[in-house]
Chains A and B, each alone.
Chain A
Amino acid sequence: MDLTYSPGWTTSVREVVIGATSSEGGSRRISYKIGGENDLPFIGNSGHKPLIAFEICDDPTIWPEVVRSACRDLINNPADWAHHADQELNADLIRLNLTSTKKRNFSNYKGIGNTIKQVLASTSLPLIIEGSNDQDIDSEVFQQCGEAGQNERLVLGTAEAARYRSVAAAAIAYGHIIIAQSPIDVNLAKQLNILLREAGLPDDRIIIDPYTGALGYGFEYTYSTMERIRFSALKGDLDLAMPMISSPADSLTVKEVREATFTDETAIAWEVATSVAAALAGAVILVVRHPGTVPILKDAIDQLKHGRGGI
């Protein structure tokens, strides 16, 4: 009986290298390749294992309450927090969200440079840096980020269609990777990648963030957009053949989680559910904030990666 599955894929997702070890000019203990899949997620054996990034921030006042209480001894010290995520939680990556830059009248540019250096010193995992989201300060913020992480092959976020030049400039000048975010729309994701290429960024330095809507509040749009991006990539659209990142951070702020009786359990369930589904739709970096999510998600990815090994 003919049980072959012939989807007619022509193209692989591009490989992107994040982080730089000493032999690659940086100081990380490991660097990762992501992407490389030539089929749907977890089908066959192609591509690299999805990574879990634990997200911390430099100003916890706007961080979800449930995470602040779960990480309460660490939230005022990004370096300790990063060290904990690395050594105790066994995350694959650290994402440092520079929430201080999102406050009004932010001007402490030197401060964020120092924070990045401290975090780079306290963990030897590759780092994702989430910078400002305001055109007026982007240029200086990303200049600081780029410089502080020089040679480390950071992942810098976030470029959007309306404001990508500062992020792109820092990534080009200092050799970093970029996160390109579009609002849950496959065509806008494609356009932004084209803009970034025209700005001088090589394709293997781009990670797509199709934006992760909260579970229960539009996650299905994200799920389908990710499926469409992956489908287009495998069918040969090189403008969409980049690996994807998913950050279900919004799932921690929805009413069902804020008002839950078992707050931690609920936060973990929503983060795990969103992340597992995002991975099944093609995301290869899963960004989470609750420490309890990490071991459950790690186990899920291990289970998903043990398939039949080729069809």
Chain B
Amino acid sequence: MALKALDIYKLLPKKNCKECGDPTCLTFAMKLAQGKSDPDACPYLDEAAKVVLGASTRPPIQKVIVGMGTRAFTVGEEFVFYRHEKTFYHQPGIFYLVSDNESDEKISDVARMIREDYFTRIGMDLRLNGVAIISDSGSPVKFSEAVKIASLKGEIPLVLIASDPTIMEAGLGVCGNFAPLIGHVTEDNIESFCNFGEKYGASLLLKAESPDLLTILVDKCLAKGLSNLLLDLTGPMGVFVQDSTVIRQLALSRKVPQFGYPVFLDVSQSGFSGLITGIVKFASVIITPPLSKPDMIAALVMRQNIYTDPQKPIQITPGLYQIGTPGRSDPVFVTVNFSLTYFTLQGYLEATRRSCWLLIVDTEGMSVLTAVAAGKLNETIIKDAINQFKLADEVDHGTIIIPGYASPLSGRIEEVTGWKVMVGPRDAAEIAAYIEEELK
């Protein structure tokens, strides 16, 4: 079991020397308890304490980095089973799977798609992560050629799939320096693959008939000093969900330390629903045949949602925003700086095709309902925003429209700001009807 901060504190020198970078031993202990710091940062720790702390402060799920350079990505290092307990830290990498039997052109198209395609929402660029090449040809030459085309000189993280060590070595010959993930490592080829792991620094993808047999492979790799491991739990969707759930539980409780590695899933059989299942149920590297654009976007949005930190709502910068090209007589809608509120309202306002102003006030990222209840949306904040963003310089009508849930504040806002207040709808979906009825 993980140690609590106070238990860790008892093992520390309690000198408050600050050499670890933290102001006190207690704050250092709290970081260790969360797995956010390394016991080695303390120069005065005795060996016995190091052993205890080293084993219990390593994240319950090993951190593994796939790829090199700007597109390299980290998986593992997770601490919770439910995202609401804290957050999920590292989004799963999604790889497009191509066969080495495909034409050079097709392989390079897929690689370029991975390198170039992205879309932006809520101020973030959403992208896929890499290419997985599978050896179907059985030819080392063909495999290495396919790998060479797909790697784009190391720009794109790769997964190499070939269980024959000769074929794998041919692939590693062209991309071995780019930290690929290689598999499948099984009982039969584990010796050779461990050698590749040592020689190239590649991460190893372990595959066995059942989860308990996986633990044997893990032990063999650990005996060789290799700990950049992933566990392949590919199977029918129902089986995956069960295995992935149980393995996550046993890894987090540290009951079976061999399960403390990120999970891999191939959704070639289960398709788009399998991809969504992998995203929500703990997969860390997912390979899929290339997706249609709608499926790709939906999957990336789901990944963004599930991996959003529940404790840190995404905020938008307060300010006066324009919808369309508003003029001096166009309406002013006031709302909070919770990004979901902003983007939802913006979407509905744009759909009305009516130009207007959107005054975003600072409620520390709280939604309207929460901000009203917590007093974060109040007459003073609205007054400050009107002044700070010089609303009076932009419009003549002296009127603002507040969210429906803020209606109890309307009198006080009028008093304090001197602006006339209209109460808008509670639900952004009703904004079109509201504009039509109230603003003619």
Contact = CB atoms under 8 A, between A and B. Distances in A.
A7 B242 CA distance: 13
A142 to B, nearest CB: 22
A266 B299 CA distance: 11
Interface in A227-259: 227-228, 231, 253-256, 258
B249 interface: yes
B108 interface: no
Interface stretch (A51-59, A84-92, A197-205, A300-308): A300-308
Contact of B239 (A218, A223, A307): A307
Given A231-B82, A265-B294, A305-B238, A311 B301 contact: no
Interface in B260-314: 270, 272-274, 276-277, 279-281, 292-295, 297-299, 301-302, 304-306, 308, 310
Contacts of B246: 3, 5, 43, 311
B353 interface: no
A269 B369 CA distance: 30
Contacts of A214: 344
Interface in B105-155: 121
Nearest to A307: B238
A50 to B, nearest CB: 12
- Residue in A231, A265, A304 with the greatest tally of chain B CB atoms within 10 Å: A304
A81 interface: no
Q: How large is the interface on B (under 10, 10 to 19, 20 to 34, 35 or more residues)?
A: 35 or more
A269 B295 contact: yes
Interface in B83-116: 83-84
A40 B280 CA distance: 14
Contacts, number: 148
A290 to B, nearest CB: 12
B278 to A, nearest CB: 10
Interface string A272-286: 110011001100000
Interface string A18-58: 00000000000000000000001111100000000000000
Given A256-B297, A265-B294, A270-B298, 13 more contacts: A3-B211, A7-B249, A43-B241, A216-B305, A223-B305, A224-B82, A227-B82, A255-B343, A269-B295, A269-B298, A273-B272, A277-B280, A304-B277
28 contacts: A3-B256, A5-B246, A5-B249, A215-B305, A216-B305, A218-B305, A218-B340, A220-B83, A221-B310, A224-B82, A224-B310, A227-B83, A255-B347, A255-B350, A262-B292, A265-B292, A266-B297, A273-B302, A276-B273, A277-B280, A277-B306, A296-B272, A300-B273, A303-B273, A304-B238, A306-B236, A306-B238, A307-B242
